[in-house]
Amino acid sequence: MSVEPNILILRAPGTNCDHETAFAFERAGGKPVSVHINQLLETPNMVNEFQVLCIPGGFSYGDDIAAGRILSSQLKGDLAKVIGEFHASEKLVIGICNGFQVLIKSGLLLEPDGQGLPATLSWNDSGRFVDQWVHLKADSPKCPFLNGVGDLYLPIAHAEGKFVARNEAVLSALQAGQQLAVKYCNPDGHKGQVAFPHNPNGSQQHVAGLCDSTGRIFGLMPHPERHIDPTHHPQWTRNDLPEKGDGLVIFENAINYFA
């Protein structure tokens, strides 16, 4: 496997975080390539040239119908076979914000059953777009993207980020399977009762990110690519900050997975 993994940054009309995400992977030591969804539909097997598939943030197809719905339909339709083979070959998939919405609504992240998808992402409890910074705790030792990660401080920007499971049985099974990978927490790190604005959308169990049963497909609402340098921090002129922004480790972990 290449020491410098090739990263496929999948974009669609409305995607607007692909450049920042590609820069984050490049800064971490990878070789990102921006690929339009039409290119992938024309040549699906090109995915075999990559080790990581990333669906970045933005508003794919203008979030018509629902956030991420159109792009998710393309992934679970024409591209389902090649992406299934990609995942089965022990490669990595990450979806950020809109990419998380795409992964969960396509069924790639949580496999549907006879009743449909076991969980989804819905409108924020506030009923509006929320743009702020949040405190997070990584909560899944099985997810390679979160290797060695504890606390994170990252920005969010979304209107449909509320994680909702079908029922308590699904929620309990995901918790037991270590799939509730990242959770919102209070500024002091406490995860108990996390109210708005620290849980900015009303997500059940304060979930901010999920992984699949293997840990190798990972989706999260916060934007790690927007905090890879200390100057990205809203208080960078006032605080003595580490040399790296909190989000960079997620991209570094993806690169190190193939080292």
Contact by Cβ (8 Å): 29, 77: no
The catalytically annotated residue of 225, 227, 232, 233 is 225
The catalytically annotated residue of 223, 227, 232, 233 is 223
Contact by Cβ (8 Å): 185, 198: yes
What residues does each domain of the chain span? 6-256
Instruction: Identify whether 225 is a catalytic site residue.
Output: yes
Instruction: Identify whether 252 is a catalytic site residue.
Output: no
Assigned architecture for domain 6-256: 3-Layer(aba) Sandwich (3.40)
Instruction: Identify whether 143 is a catalytic site residue.
Output: no
Query: Tens digit of pLDDT per residue, the chain (259 long)?
Result: 446 899 999 999 999 999 999 999 999 999 999 999 999 999 999 999 999 999 999 999 888 777 888 999 999 888 999 999 999 999 999 999 999 999 999 999 999 998 999 999 999 999 999 999 999 999 889 999 999 999 999 999 999 999 999 999 999 999 999 999 999 999 987 767 898 999 999 999 999 999 999 999 999 999 999 999 999 999 999 999 999 999 999 999 999 999 8
Amino acid at 97: C
Q: How far apart are CA 38 and CA 69, in angstroms?
A: 16
Report residue 155 CA to chain centroid gap. Answer: 13
